[in-house]
Structure 1
Amino acid sequence: MMKVKMTEAIRKIFVNASGRWKLPNDDKMVPERIAIVGTGPRGISVIERIASKLTERQTLRPLVIYAIDSVEVGCGRIWRTDQPDWLIMNTRCKNATMFPNAPDEGAWRPGYGPTFMEWWRQVDTNYPGPSGYAPRGLYGKYLKFVLDVIELNLPDNMSLERVQDRVVNITEHVDQYELTFESGRSALHVDRLIICSGYPHREKSKHAENMAGSSVRHLTSFDILETFQSGLSLPLDLSEQVIGIRGLGLSFYDVLSELTIGRGGRYVVEQGTLQYVPSGNEPKLIVAGSRGGLPLPVRGKDDRPANLVYVPQFFTTSRVASIRANGPACFRSSYLPWITAEVNLVYVEKVLGSDQYGQFRKKLDASEVTSDTVMHVMSQLARPYGIDKLLDLGALAAPFQGLSFNSQEEFRRAVVSVVGEDVAQADRGEFNDPIKAALDVLRHIRPIIRKAVDLGGLTRSSHHDFITKMARTIAFLSSGPSRTRAKQLLALIQCGKLELLGPSATFRKTDEAAVVASSDKVKDYSVEIDVLIDAYVAAPNVDLDENPVIRSLADAGLLRNFMGVGGAEVTSKPFHPITVKGEVKDRIHVLGIPTESARWFLHVGLVEPGVWDEFIDDADTIANTSIQNLVFGAPEVVSFDNGLSTNCNADPDKYLN
């Protein structure tokens, strides 16, 4: 081997007395330590982004990532892998990935890997196709696969330590944070904290823990998210029990599955209709209710042409930027008219067909409209084409608003009619059915809504109104489950196993310690229930969250409530928390659900394949900030005495013998 002579000057800089490489400012080469608390999709995405960046750009200072989760490192509690298969995702498998880029000719690695759909197709012979809805536990296995790919391809000087333990306290010290654990393991000292702790915690009722095997009537209430983590504390045989469910959202369908399929029941198709076949172990009756009295509308059949991107016409990024430039706005007057117009533009297009819609659109484009006039102008232009009424988002979300019913049978017929029509619309497709296509617009413009409302985009009063009212309406209309869920619901009503309560449902404890479910909008109907399950997802609130991670930071004044609505107040990207004293903690990042209300609609922890969306960009920005204290860059290529060039980061012995 040709020997290469290194100049003495270079030797003094880069080689120590023992012949090993040393680095300038050796005291700065101690590892940078980062704790990521919570390893659901948000936490994994940050790890993936850091690893990807350090693969592309070499660091001379070591980095240690601690991936911490109290339930299952790599997927967290919502996506834990031991969940039963009847708990399914509400997103089609083709619409999910954790890799920003598709695989290339190289190995799977940070930045490049299979989408969830591609992975599922490879590991399961029963893969249902791109429109399939996967079990949540299966997606959890995909997340763990992603973490494995990251760890197996970590760049030099980056290491990953998985910590499955519950953080019970976080203490701030000078230039570092101390994490203590429930198991009693040694405290962890880190330089940076990334909080991705997800949904808020509420302790399970002691009544719930004592319920299994008991035939005594109890009021039993607990958060359904505790079900995902611990399982329902109910006996397998519920044949003598009347179960109440508070809430008709996505978690309601999970509870419904637990109480039916989870007790041995099954659904069969007879004469083209889905029917429920009882096992005898499900509840004698399930009684469910909510404020509005209506379950979430379901997603339409997947009939949207591939790669067809929705381009907003009224509610555009540029319009939102123009409005925000003038300071905090009122959502109802500044933004809602444009959102409603956007939804109705698609509705009119689907109702009229291409030829008549072209005529309508030509007239609309020739009209000058403002937020005050746009809906009036659209309504006037649509009327000659036979469209007497445009869609009202509030009315769609609350069809029973202001109505009363003379009997439960009358309300049952009404709700079955509404749900049945919703299913019929969904069967026609979310691209072709006018109403489903229109409501699908709300899904496409979510990122633009976030640009309008996030981090102080609204006045204080409007922000409160948005979070407590309008945001719920938009989420209700745009985040529903698959058609199968609604068909199962109708089958349960038909066989007498399920009753939905009227609007403004209540669950009241009587003087006899019984719980009675009823609605004051439905005459002469009430049911005494044995067990009450709370299927509402608690809204993030730093003042009430019992998760010790949030609790310890909030109690220390490191987190504060955003505008009194609930979530943690943070800066714009990279989402540093703002303390009760108004200071910015630039070594902490709070990402995702804990900041809900300061930001909006963060519940969807999925990345659309091929789209660099906010989910990726959030993680990417935090990754950039997290590695800013590392020493980057191999020393420049230098010339040696024989004229050959090589990189100074190679093994020095190769050139010194």
Structure 2
Amino acid sequence: MKPAVLAVVGGGPRAAMLLERLSASLPEYAPAHLDIHLIEPHVPGSGRIWRRDQSPLLALNSRAADVTMFTDSSVQCEGPSADGPSLLEWSMDVSGPGTFLADDGELRLALDAAPELAAEARGLTAESFPTRRLQSLYLEWFFRCTVARLERQGVAVAVHRDTAVRVEPAPAGSRSALVRLATGRHVAADAVVLALGHADAEPLPSSSALADFARRHGATYVPPDYTTDADLSGIAPGADVIVSGLGLAFVDLAVLLFEGRGGRFAADPSAGPEEGALTYVPSGLEPRLFAGSRRGVPYRSKARGPLRGEEPEPLRFLTEQAVAPLLARRGEIDFVGDLWPLIARDIEYGYYRELFTGYPDRVLASWAEFSARFEAAARGERSRTELDALIGSAVPVAADRLDLDRLDRPLDGLSGSPDEVHRAVVRHVQDDLRLRDSGEHTETLGLFLGILRAYMELGRLVPLERLSPASREVVCGWWHGFFSFVDSGPPPRRLRELLALERAGFVRFLGPGLRVEGDDASGLFRATAAAGSLTASASVFVEARLPGPAVAGSANPLLRALAADGLAREDAAGRLRTGDDARVLGDAFAWLFAVGAGTTGWGAGAFARPRSNAAPFRDTDALARRLLAQLTPEPSARLESAVALVHGLAG
């Protein structure tokens, strides 16, 4: 039998996860008769974003204990689980028994060539935020282990260190598709999976206008980009720099422009009551940043654990029983009207469970009493009014009451002079660190876990295609942004570093509602924010954010070709449209699939927390089994086909 051929375009973590899930379910589809071609210009496993050749100063925004590539037994999927080490457990073995080193010569060579990574692995703890370079070793090790297992199962895996530039139907009588490569070669395949991860985009008209302004006036404009790939050479020492964006890209920018230029941070016991305060020792090569964003504040820091109170319960409101009537009715589901009330109640429930069971001295009722009344009120017709009254009577200190609107937009209504706005942002960062990193307010960890579980569960319960188009935009826009702002922020130390840079005079916050434009009269970029007051002018402007998704306007030639050939469509926000089965929607055929960032699918993550039933694992398992069923039918299906054939001949 001629082997079926699967082409996987992209070789980052999501592609490696797919290969592992194929390997896990393969025995059910034996004989395999499968060849896999993986196309990735960078090192497979880590890919572009997690590659090793980036600054050693850049770190994950996840703790070592919270990163795994293994679909463990918590994952609710049809394929078999595959328990394996988290990044922390892997590092402990690498720096201890060395089992993985004995089994993987490439890993040993990599650590021998980078002793600083070996030292990092030895010092890693559950609370450590590892460097991206150490993460790259873990991802590449996982990929090699997966390929070795596939090959033991009789699957040939060919890696092409090349770039795919076009996917097209194959000539009749051959395979289904041809994947054309930049070198002129091609791969013929029966199915193609695009696992491209974050792709660059061609400049939007607004970016092109800013770049043109910079050229005309001898200014510097740095467009949206992955910070490690951005050209920061035009930012001279002492330059004033306007920065739009206060998310993770901004954090990386600050790392590269200050510590990356020779500055350093040291403990600062004279900084006042702030625990763990730092002072900044400059190198003399620093610029000065004027930073703002839509919200006006940096992403909230990661919350320190463990929980003080009782372990979290399963979600009580966003459940199959609650969603079933929504799915059963005709018509589209509205996120704001139908789903957000369920999500919000579960977020609140997780927060108050930790507050009541971990800090009984801060509340006026037992958890048993409060939770029963909370659930009754949440299901009533006047739920918000009744909940507010219940919370107000049981939680005496207003600061202990969860306000989701204020959580999302902490500076709404802010006004005042630029100095007052700046000080308000500084106070917000200080308060955030006090709440999330002191260990004395673990209700914020209950909040974190409630949002995380709702984020993961929503994709399992509700097909994205059942949402109205407006709701899909809310999910991929506001809901994802809210999750990222609250749950996917930087390590606490990064915010302490920002405060140290602020005290040293190198960072000034502009507040919310930032707008930046070129001023031809002065030849400078001009920033306005916080009720419209002019707050900064500078010759350098950096958009500290990732490029938006795009298909027709992508910088990736493959995506552009798919759009031009009519094989794919994009949604209003530029994301590649995929169905709930991960098939690409367009004039493509049954052989083209896409997963991960830049698609309209739910589970866009590349890896996740162990034992969390995370959506990327569930979705990838389902796709792997779908591919195996399409490429190598299950034995039972072959048997039924054979029986039908025999009956037909007998007839």
Normalising TM by the smaller chain, what interval? 0.7 to 0.9
Does the 8 A contact of 2:351 with 2:450 survive in 1? no
Rounded to whole Å, the distance in 1 between the matches of 2:44 and 2:209 is: 30
Rounded to whole Å, the distance in 1 between the matches of 2:301 and 2:44 is: 32
Asked if 1:166 is matched to 2:175, the reply is: no
What displacement does 1:67 show? 1.4
Give deviations 1:163-208, integer Å, cap 9, x for gaps: 11111222222442222222x2422222210001011312589999
Q: Match for residue 329 of structure 1?
A: 333
Q: Match for residue 484 of structure 2?
A: 475
- The 3 A distance-change label for structure 1 pair 428 and 321 is farther
Aligned residue for 2:332, secondary structure, equals: coil
Q: Match for residue 393 of structure 1?
A: 404
Instruction: Name the stretch that deviates more: 342-351 or 288-297.
Output: 342-351
Rounded to whole Å, the distance in 2 between the matches of 1:346 and 1:621 is: 29
Asked if 1:553 is matched to 2:562, the reply is: yes
Give deviations 1:68-87, integer Å, cap 9, x for gaps: 11333221111111111221
Does the 8 A contact of 2:603 with 2:616 survive in 1? no
Does the 8 A contact of 1:312 with 1:342 survive in 2? yes
Aligned residue for 1:89, secondary structure, equals: coil
Asked if 1:316 is matched to 2:326, the reply is: no
Asked if 1:290 is matched to 2:262, the reply is: no
What displacement does 1:618 show? 1.8
Rounded to whole Å, the distance in 1 between the matches of 2:387 and 2:25 is: 49
Counterpart amino acid of residue 86 in structure 1: L
Asked if 1:196 is matched to 2:231, the reply is: no
Q: Match for residue 388 of structure 2?
A: 379
- The 3 A distance-change label for structure 1 pair 305 and 270 is same
What displacement does 1:521 show? 2.4
Q: Match for residue 223 of structure 2?
A: 222
Matched positions, count: 583
Does the 8 A contact of 2:464 with 2:602 survive in 1? no
Q: Match for residue 571 of structure 1?
A: 579
Aligned residue for 2:62, secondary structure, equals: strand
What displacement does 1:158 show? 0.8
Does the 8 A contact of 2:551 with 2:576 survive in 1? yes
- The 3 A distance-change label for structure 1 pair 499 and 386 is same
Q: Match for residue 2 of structure 2?
A: 30
- The 3 A distance-change label for structure 1 pair 533 and 140 is same
Give deviations 1:50-75, integer Å, cap 9, x for gaps: 223335654252x2211111333221
Asked if 1:405 is matched to 2:416, the reply is: yes
Rounded to whole Å, the distance in 1 between the matches of 2:518 and 2:479 is: 31
Give deviations 1:282-319, integer Å, cap 9, x for gaps: 21x11222112111111111223799454222233431
What displacement does 1:499 show? 1.1
Aligned residue for 2:130, secondary structure, equals: strand
Does the 8 A contact of 1:110 with 1:149 survive in 2? no
Counterpart amino acid of residue 265 in structure 2: Y
Rounded to whole Å, the distance in 1 between the matches of 2:304 and 2:471 is: 35
What displacement does 1:524 show? 5.7
Give deviations 1:206-249, integer Å, cap 9, x for gaps: 99999xxx9x9423222222x43x453416x8313222322111
Q: Match for residue 75 of structure 1?
A: 46
Rounded to whole Å, the distance in 2 between the matches of 1:544 and 1:523 is: 32
Rounded to whole Å, the distance in 2 between the matches of 1:60 and 1:436 is: 45
- The 3 A distance-change label for structure 1 pair 170 and 356 is same
Does the 8 A contact of 1:207 with 1:220 survive in 2? no
Asked if 1:444 is matched to 2:453, the reply is: yes
Per residue, is there more helix in 1 or in 2?
Answer: 2
The aligned runs of 1:60-459 (5 Å cut-off) are 61=33, 63-101=34-72, 111=82, 113-123=84-94, 124-125=118-119, 126-153=122-149, 154-173=151-170, 174=172, 175-182=175-182, 184-203=183-202, 217-225=218-226, 227-228=227-228, 230=229, 232-234=231-233, 238-271=236-269, 272-283=276-287, 285-304=288-307, 308-326=311-329, 327-352=331-356, 353-354=359-360, 356-365=366-375, 367=377, 369-370=379-380, 372-387=381-396, 390-406=401-417, 408-429=418-439, 432-451=441-460, 454-459=463-468
Q: Match for residue 599 of structure 1?
A: 601
RMSD of the TM alignment (CA)? 3.3
Give deviations 1:256-294, integer Å, cap 9, x for gaps: 1111111111111121521111111221x1122211211
Asked if 1:39 is matched to 2:49, the reply is: no
Asked if 1:511 is matched to 2:520, the reply is: yes
Highest CA radius of gyration, 1 or 2? 1
Rounded to whole Å, the distance in 2 between the matches of 1:429 and 1:337 is: 30
Rounded to whole Å, the distance in 1 between the matches of 2:346 and 2:633 is: 49
Give deviations 1:580-617, integer Å, cap 9, x for gaps: 5xxx632111111121xx33462x31133245432222
Give deviations 1:388-447, integer Å, cap 9, x for gaps: 7643322222122232222x21111111111100000012349x4334532441112112
Query: What 5-or-longer segments of structure 1 have no aligned partner?
Result: 1-28, 103-108, 637-657
Query: What 5-or-longer segments of structure 2 have no aligned partner?
Result: 74-79, 95-117, 270-275, 639-651
Rounded to whole Å, the distance in 2 between the matches of 1:457 and 1:512 is: 51
Rounded to whole Å, the distance in 2 between the matches of 1:460 and 1:501 is: 34
Rounded to whole Å, the distance in 2 between the matches of 1:112 and 1:437 is: 26
What displacement does 1:488 show? 0.9
- The 3 A distance-change label for structure 1 pair 85 and 305 is farther
Does the 8 A contact of 1:576 with 1:586 survive in 2? yes
Q: Match for residue 535 of structure 2?
A: 526
Give deviations 1:346-378, integer Å, cap 9, x for gaps: 3434444455332222334555724x5222222
Rounded to whole Å, the distance in 1 between the matches of 2:472 and 2:281 is: 47
* Percent identity over paired residues: 24
Q: Match for residue 50 of structure 1?
A: 22
Rounded to whole Å, the distance in 1 between the matches of 2:603 and 2:327 is: 19
Counterpart amino acid of residue 498 in structure 1: V
Rounded to whole Å, the distance in 1 between the matches of 2:584 and 2:555 is: 18
Q: Match for residue 493 of structure 1?
A: 502
Does the 8 A contact of 1:169 with 1:548 survive in 2? yes
Does the 8 A contact of 1:393 with 1:473 survive in 2? no
